[in-house]
Amino acid sequence: MDHTPNADLPVAVIGAGPIGLAAAAHLVERGLPFVVLEAGDLPGASVRQWGHVRLFSPWRYNTDTAARRLLTIAGWTPPDPDELPTGAEIADGYLRPLAELPDIAPHIRYQACVSAISRLNVDRMRTARREAAPFVIRLEDGTEILARAVIDASGTWTTPNVLGANGLPARGERETAPWIDHALPDVLGADRQYYAGRHTIVLGAGHSAATTLLALSELVDQVPGTRVTWAIRADDPDRAYGGEGDDALPARGSLGSGLRLLVDKGLVDLAAGFTVHAVRPLAASPVEGGLEVVSRQADGTEQVIVADRIVAATGYRPDHSIAGELRLDLDAILGTTRLLAPLIDPNDHPVAPSARTAWTS
């Protein structure tokens, strides 16, 4: 008999993406009750938004062991473990069949957006009987669900970083939102009209920025008048080029090599040491005109770039606002668990994946 407090209640998993559905698969194997709360209409809703992008990590690194076991029993044919999938292939070839398994499908609730989490009849200030109180998960429609534990696998896709170099929104950033796209727009497909024949500034020095810059460089060759500026905070781009030929993942290394070639050939204008201070529209809408992006240094000097559009590949942060009534013990800088923080600190590692929290407090 399971003597865990609230053992008859489900484990609540927030998000039906790769991590959330992997958690569901492990819960199935352990015979534990669970519910998956997905804000979107389909599994992998966020992944589908960058479905056109091919990953630099092969299939073997993008599927979970428990999920593969359940899928194999159901007759799923696994892809070549060494092939590089697109986001769409992961969503439709892996996440959808996983979500449709009879052991998982009945436990997924779509269009279930979590607005807050707390403990039953125990607010943040109260300690007595806290550990024994079940979690209360409130959805945006007012529905409340009780759970024995909560796994937040909602990701960070919906909470991108702002443009401002100081962590605050740049002046005018909210007003110029129609001119700004976040990471990985489909510049060669569905979003082509916004970039062809126009000047785009790509902000950021990570792999998402590199992927977009490489795609935009194809438009430079295809459509006259297409221009690309790559703006980074660092004084030189060497770190952004990564391991190149020495990278453990060849496709990731080729991103850096390709980016270096674009800069060397002048297909991309590099604006190094560019720290965004303000964004100013030059017209009433993106259709009528572009905008100015202003970098300001400590001595007050400014650099201004005029463009038609911005791609803000500036990363993402977790949003812990729904857990305001919980007692999360998080790293003060990264907002993740303390044990994970030193492993992903971007000050020490070139690539720091966004991390979320399994809530037990």
Rounded to an integer, the average pLDDT of 249-277 is 91
**Quick one: CA torsion of 316, 322, 326, 330, rounded to 10 degrees?**
0
Please give the pLDDT value at position 356.
36
Pairwise CA distance, residues 226 & 155, whole Å: 33
Query: In the block, which residue shows the tokens 């810059």?
Result: 213
Which range, of 133-137, 213-217, 243-247, 326-330, averages the lowest pLDDT?
A: 243-247
Residues in Cβ contact with 221 at an 8 Å cutoff, skipping those fewer than 6 apart: none
More confident residue, 285 or 297: 285
In a domain, 301, yes or no: yes
Q: What is the DSSP string of 206-257?
A: SHHHHHHHHHHHHHHHHSTT-EEEEE-SSSSSHHHHTTGGG-SSHHHHHHHH
Mean pLDDT for the chain overall: 92
Instruction: Note the pLDDT tens digit of each residue in 144-170.
Output: 999 999 999 999 999 999 999 999 999
Residues ≥6 apart with Cβ < 8 Å to 345: 333, 334, 352
Question: 170-210 pLDDT, tens per residue?
Answer: 999 999 999 999 999 999 999 999 999 999 999 999 999 99
| 195 in the same domain as 74 | no
Residue 353 pLDDT class (50, 70, 90 cuts): very low
CATH code of the domain in which 79 resides: 3.50.50.60
Would the pLDDT of 352 be above 50?
A: no
Q: Does residue 329 lie within any of the structural domains?
A: yes
pTM of the model: 0.90
Range of the domain at 244: 177-312
List CB contacts of 2: < 8 A, sequence separation 6 or more.
Answer: none
Domain membership of residue 1 (yes or no) is no
Same domain, 216 and 125: no
Residue 358, pLDDT score: 40
